[in-house]
Structure 1
Amino acid sequence: MLRTLFDQTCQAYFPRWRAAAAWTVLFEPPPGYLDAWGLCERETRRIWVHADHVKGDSARAVACLVHEIVHAVVGCSV
């Protein structure tokens, strides 16, 4: 489910981002950041979305994915 949402989000908001297929998306708490909504780890090409924070709310999940994908695309860590 999350991978499909990730792919749809990439197509809608980042259609020219070709590296999306190389990224892994995890629907679980980010390691070491249990209160975070999500985390982008560029070195390992992983994006975490905390399931408890977005459960049952696809708009919230998309917002979190967009935020984390921006980190992946732009490379900023803040």
Structure 2
Amino acid sequence: MTTVKFQLEPLTCPSCIKKIEGKVGKIDGVEEVKVLFNSSKVKASYNEEKVSSEELKKVIENLGYPVVA
């Protein structure tokens, strides 16, 4: 199990949390995903044999939330 944290551009609405957690949480290999609204961070625990951090990053960015770090 690997954990990754992504810093996003500032989130503007609480509904962003459900959108990101819902989409990333459905990816095969993702065990847990948590969006921290106040700090605009995404923390995900995943099985690196099934999915990569780059794939997670792409999903987040495709939802319209640029990853800055």
TM-score higher than 0.5 = no
Larger Rg: 1
Q: Which has the higher strand share?
A: 2
Structure with bigger RCO (C-alpha 8 Å, 6+ apart): 2
